[in-house]
Structure formats: C-alpha cells, structure tokens
Chain A
Amino acid sequence: MLKEKLLSSFMAFEEKIDVHSHLHDIRTSAIKNFESKGFPTKKEEAWKYTSLNSILKNDFSVFPKHENSIEFSDVKKYFIHEIDTYKVIFVDGIFSSFLSATTHDGLDVCLLSSALSKPKYKEAVDEFFNKIANKEESLTSLNTAFANEGAYINIPKNKVVEKPIEIIYFSTGVENALLVQPRNLIIVGENAHVQIIERHQSLNENPVLTNSVTEIFAQKRSNVDYYKIQNDLQTANLIDNTYIAQKHESNVAVHTFSFGGNMTRNNLNFYHQGERIESILKGITIIGNKQHVDHYTLVQHATPNCESHQNYKNILSDSAIGVFNGKIFVEKEAQKTNAFQQNNNILLSDKATINAKPQLEIFADDVKCSHGCTIGQLDENAMFYMQQRGIPKKEAKALLMYAFSNEVIESIKIPELKQRITKIIATKLGVNLGFDL
C-alpha cells in the first residue's frame, strides 16, 4: 500500500522540483529498482531479524502538507548548545533557516536542494552524488528517487573545521504519520578535518519513518569524525543508510549511540579506495521495552595495508531485540589488512534477544582478521562488590553498564558530546550518581 502510494507520488514529485536531466535519470532508475524490489522482507538474508511489516501499515504522508515552525527554546536540549556549531536543521524534512547556522565561508555547510539545483555545485554533484550509495539496495533506491533535501557539506583541501557540524531532523508530528527521506552528501577534501553530529528527533508521538541516506567521501589523508545520536521517542523508526568511500591514508570514525526509537536499522558501509586507510565503527545500544536496533555493518577491504576496528556494545532489557551483523570483506588485493570486530552484549532479561552474526569473507592470504562476540548477564561479583560499598542495586547496575560501555564512550572526541552521551545514559538507566557518569 505504501509502495503504491510512493510510486504514484514519484511523478508528482518530479514535476514539482526543478531538475536537470542527469538527476532525472538517476531518480528514474532508482524508482524502477525500488518498484521491482519493494520493501525488504524477512525472507532476505540481510533482513532476517528485522521486519518492517507493522511499520509499513501506517498511512504515512509522503510530503509534509505545510511548513511547521518550532521555537529554539523547545528544542534547545537536542543541540550540543554548550559549544558553537554549524547547524543544518530540518523540520518535517523541510530546511529551517531559522534554526540553522550554515556557511559558505571557506567551506560549504548548506542544503542539498540548493547544491542539486545551482550551477556552481554541478561539478561536485556530478562527481559525487549517488556515486557510493548502493544502487541495488531497494531502500537506498527509494531515497534516491525522492532525494532532494538534506545536508550538503563540502570541506575544501587542507581545511581543519574548528566547529563541529550538527545535522538535526525534527519531526513535529503535526502530520498523522510521516515518512521523511533525508539525503546527505558530505565531501571532505585532502588533509581536511571535520566533526559531524547527526540526530533525528520527533517532538510528539505520531509515528515517523525516516529512510535516510548519507554519502561520505573522505579524500586523501582526511579525517572524519561522525556521531549518530539515536535517542528518539519510541514511536519513531529510522533506517539509516550510510555509505563511506575512503581514499589513501584517510581516517573515518563513526560512533552510533542507539538508545531510543521503536525500530532502528543502521546500514553502515565502508569502501576502501586507497592504502593505509583506517576505519572505525563503534556503537553503544541501550534499549528496553519492545525496542529493536539492528546494526548491519560492512567493511570492504579492497586495497592493501588498511585497518578497520569495530566495537559494538549492546545492553538489552525487557523484550528488546538487538541485531549485530558485521561483515568484513577482504579482497584478494587487500594484503596486510588488519580487521577487527568486537561485539559485547548484556541481556538483562530472559525475554531480551540478541542476534549476533559476524561474517568474514577473506580472499587475501596475508591478513590479520579477528572477531569476538560475548553474550552475558551483569557480573554478580561486581554487583556484590559495589553493594558491599553501600551502593544500592540500581545504581550499582548503572555503574556496571557504564563501565561496560566505557571503551566506546572514551573515544568520543568532543568533550561536550561525551558529557551529553553519558547524561543520556544515566537518564536511560534512571540514576543520579552525583557525578557525571
């Protein structure tokens, strides 16, 4: 039903926006791919543990009917407001110039819609737009077909961006149920450094489905530090498709903090296109009730002498379901690859489930690859130790869970963000320990 609605909306959408023919071709082939494949089902190996069925039953509006404004004071808490940042903010999929702080001064932090339509960005758009996103994947295709709005970030050569960039998508819930499809294009030039924080946030409990695609191009020796905060209301659903192409000696780290939402699927894909590349994928998932978080990662080692490090920590309570599917692909040419994957899980209830599946496909013979997965409960000895020091059970539990996630928290490079994440964790665990966890 939603599929039909989307297909019929496509024509209307194409008429509405001003597009040059190249984009038109991209969109048309994307919608064709979506039309033939449809929404993924559990029959597909990649979606074995995650079903979209019940979510797709909602009667989603495909385009918001009107522009909705929100006051900064109402949403301030969702920003890292302690520090100065560039901001690219959207409300129900529409750019909010009022909440944003964009720039063209020495770097471009602005809108994809203007990049797609203005001639001066044509070269960059032709070179990068939809170049790394998977054209076979149906949800990515669906996003591509409707791709128009999102953040466009282009950092020129040698630029070290001093301020982090925040990309936030708010949904107001004015529409009954809303489907939003943000599209971000991020190009980080040679030797450039940037820190980016991405967040999706609903402001009331009307259901939202976000199908987001982000393409990141990390040029030679660039450094990209990307943080995804997923702490949305439990009526929100997020499918995050992130594609990263890395050139020679670049370093890209993606941290994903999944605490909220009803269903969250993270498709995080790294493609190596040069030597001595480093890729870091880290995540903390703390969920309960009937929340569902699925991490589906791919690191494609195609070139020699590169490294990838994955470290995902999941704490699941109640009837929560977690999935970790980590695929490492080492091609024949990718000799001297170091690829590590670690996935640790704590189940706090008998009804909580973790589906952990490492997939290592190695075609080179001189590589170091490892994966480790643990599933356990909280350490009883540690609980006894802390309770013996007068710390009540609930607080002791929280301290242990914090200690369990600490390895990932420690690697957050923005101190204010680190503090924010630890606060969110403390709130999530329902404790106040008198110091910032």
Chain B
Amino acid sequence: MLSIKNLHASIEDKAILKGINLQVNAGEVHAIMGPNGAGKSTLSSIIAGNENYTVTDGEIILEGEDISDFSVEERAHKGVFLSFQYPVEIPGVSVTNFIKTSINETRKANGKEDMPANEMLKLIREKSELLEIDRKFLSRSLNEGFSGGEKKRNEIFQMAMLEPKLAILDETDSGLDIDALRIVANGVNKLKNENNAVLVITHYQRLLDYIIPDFVHVLMDGKIVKSGGKELAYALEEKGYDWIKSELV
C-alpha cells in the first residue's frame, strides 16, 4: 500500500525527517509513536503533500506509484486521507455541502460523474449514524464552534464518506473524552478492511486500546528508532520515551 524509503524532509532548511523507512501493507494498522517534536506530525503532513515542507531525499510510494511530486489534492484523489489534529473552521459552508464538494471533486478527478443526490443522502445518513452524529450537526458550518470531540468525530465522518485507501490519523485522540474516543475508534474499526490501511500517529498509548495496531514504530529525532508489535506501545506507556533513549545509547 504505502512504502516510504529513506525519506528526508526539512522546513526552512531545518531538517525534520532524517531517513524514514516504512512499509504499510493493505489490511494493516500501524502506529507511529514518539515524544513531542520527534517529527510525527511532519511525517503525516508530508505524506499528505503539505508544500510547506521540502522533501530533500527519498520516495513516497502509494500502490506502486511515486507520489512525492503530486499535489495535495492529487494525493487525496488517489486515496490518501489525513485526519487533522486541528481541523479548520469554514464559516458559511455546512458539513454536508463540504463533504458533497469533497466527494464530487474526488469523483471528477477519477473520471466519474457526480454522485446522484439520493445516493449521497443515503451515504450521509449511514455514515453519520456510524459516528453517532445527528442531523442538526450536518447543517452547521464546518467546524465552526465545534467542540474538540465534535471536530474529531467530523473528521472520521469525512473519512467514512470518502473511504480512503490510506487513512492517517494525526493525534486523533487529543482533546477527546472517553465517550468520543470510543465512538471515533469504533468508526475507524468499522471502516477498516483488507483493502485499506491505517496509520495512527499518537503520543499516548490510550487510543491504541481501541484501535489495535499490527505494528508500532517509535519516531525520535526524525528517524524510526524501534519497531515492534502492539506490546511496544504498552512498554512505552509504562517506561516512557527515556527508556528508548537509554536503550539507544
């Protein structure tokens, strides 16, 4: 699905990623953990194509195609989805209108007609039920005045609507109470199948109790310093990141 080879990236000449290698296969859930400032959010931004960062070396390959030079929207059209840590507010554009535009622009880019209105409505109903979102919420302006939990739930709702091949969840657990966390995780788990993959970026192990990873990677100072199974997340929770640091020395 996704393979990242020797990825180096910088912002304003400051190196942030210093040779990342990562292989994610269809049907897998990977977690990337690490202390603040390790480059976790940078990695997710770069996979999504954020132009503020410069890729100085390496490749990002999605389903056999190098997407390093693709624009943000081209990557989205190919099935990359990034759930934002801080989703943006768009006053005057409703949740429904935004997702309709998003879906139809993606279809257009893939040579498909607009989704028929009744099909769209049905899909919206189905996916909003999955995320326990009520009707009133859908006509509100996108993210405007939403609580932290509502914003994240809305991100996963959009993910459910778009059915991406690769979903990157950037600190999706931050600002969530336990109920919202359960709803969000449940949504992700229901969307998960043999043909897609999920990359969970998180500081804490908490979310991984709900979205069980197949692999856990520890990112420190722009490099993946340790990989393992889900037990690695527990070890990190228990011993902290200093444990890895001391182990590395």
Interface of A with B (CB < 8 Å)? 379-382, 384-393, 395, 399-400, 402-403, 405-407, 409-410, 433-435
Surface stretch bound by A, among B12-20, B25-33, B102-110: B102-110
**Interface check B71, CB cutoff 8 A:** yes
Taking CB atoms and an 8 Å cut-off, the chain B residues in 34-53 that contact chain A are 45, 48-52
**Interface check B97, CB cutoff 8 A:** yes
Contact status of A379 and B88, CB under 8 A, knowing A389-B98, A390-B102, A392-B105 = yes
CB A344 to nearest CB in B, in angstroms, measures: 12
Q: How many A-B residue pairs have CB under 8 A?
A: 84
Q: Which A residues touch B82, using CB under 8 A?
A: 388
From B80, B92, B100, A434 is in contact (CB under 8 Å) with B100
CB B165 to nearest CB in A, in angstroms, measures: 13
Most B CB contacts (10 A, CB to CB) among A385, A400, A434 go to A385
Q: Which B residues touch A406, using CB under 8 A?
A: 91-92, 141
* B contact residues, total (Cβ < 8 Å): 37
Q: Which A residues touch B77, using CB under 8 A?
A: 390
Q: Which A residues touch B141, using CB under 8 A?
A: 406
Q: Which A residues touch B84, using CB under 8 A?
A: 385, 388
Q: Which B residues touch A400, using CB under 8 A?
A: 90
Mark interface residues in B61-84 (1 if CB within 8 Å of A CB, else 0): 000000000011100110011101
Asked if B76 and A390 sit within 8 Å, CB to CB, the answer is yes
Asked if B76 and A388 sit within 8 Å, CB to CB, the answer is yes
Asked if B88 and A385 sit within 8 Å, CB to CB, the answer is yes
**Interface check B162, CB cutoff 8 A:** yes
For the complex of A and B, 4 pairs with smallest distance between CB atoms: A406-B92, A387-B72, A390-B106, A390-B76
Q: Which B residues touch A389, using CB under 8 A?
A: 76, 98, 102, 158, 162
Q: Which A residues touch B72, using CB under 8 A?
A: 384, 387-388
From B45, B91, B93, A407 is in contact (CB under 8 Å) with B91
Bound Cα distance from A3 to B52, whole angstroms: 56
Asked if B162 and A390 sit within 8 Å, CB to CB, the answer is yes
A-B contact pairs, 11 of them (CB 8 A): A386-B88, A389-B158, A390-B105, A390-B162, A391-B102, A393-B73, A395-B105, A403-B92, A406-B141, A409-B92, A433-B97
**Interface check B114, CB cutoff 8 A:** yes
Bound Cα distance from A388 to B114, whole angstroms: 19
Asked if B105 and A399 sit within 8 Å, CB to CB, the answer is no
CB B26 to nearest CB in A, in angstroms, measures: 21
Contact status of A435 and B101, CB under 8 A, knowing A380-B52, A388-B76 = yes
Q: Which B residues touch A391, using CB under 8 A?
A: 73, 101-102, 105
List 9 other contacts, CB 8 Å, given A384-B51, A389-B76, A407-B91. Answer: A381-B86, A385-B87, A391-B105, A395-B105, A403-B91, A410-B92, A434-B101, A435-B100, A435-B101
